[in-house]
Amino acid sequence: MSGEKRFRTSIFGFSKSDVNSYIEKIISEYDHKLKEKEEEIAALKNNAKETRLKYEELFKKAEQINEDRAKIADVLIKAQEKAEIMIEDAKNQALEEKKKIEKLVEEEKEKLVDIKEQLKVLKTEVTSTLKRYEGQLAEFIEK
């Protein structure tokens, strides 16, 4: 096998220096890999912390936006209600004004009818007075 380590042999088994150097090499590689993993974990923790902070910031912004939306909706509803009240008041005022004008027009029509009647009476009186004067004038001319 290619990944297999072969040690030199000595009188009592394997060479201690080869075994020790191999163990030190493995420990060194393990420490190096452990350090890389710890750095990777630290980087991931840092990344997670940044992500959490960004999430909290975005969450606060979303809450603020929702609050603003609620306020805007409330203002719009109140404005709409106020506009409806104003329109209703304007309609009522217009109806009252229309009634006043209609009443005034009716009164003026009645006055006009009275004036026409007075004119008829006056015309009749003037006509009768003119006929009297005409008759008197004719008598005076005949005399």
Rg (CA), the chain: 58
Question: Where do the structural domains in the chain lie, given as residue ranges?
Answer: 9-142
Looking up tokens 């809450």 gives: 63
Hey, what amino acid is at 105?
V
Strand-pairing partners, residue 9, are 14
Structural element, H or E, at residue 52: helix 16-142
The reply to whether the predicted model has a pTM over 0.95 is: no
The 10s digit of each residue's pLDDT in 7-52 is 566 666 677 788 888 899 999 999 999 999 999 999 999 999 999 9
Phi, psi of 123 (to 5 degrees): -65, -40
Q: Which of 38-42, 74-78, 96-100, 138-142 has the lowest mean pLDDT?
A: 138-142
d(CA 130, CA 123): 10
Q: What confidence score (pLDDT) does residue 68 get?
A: 97
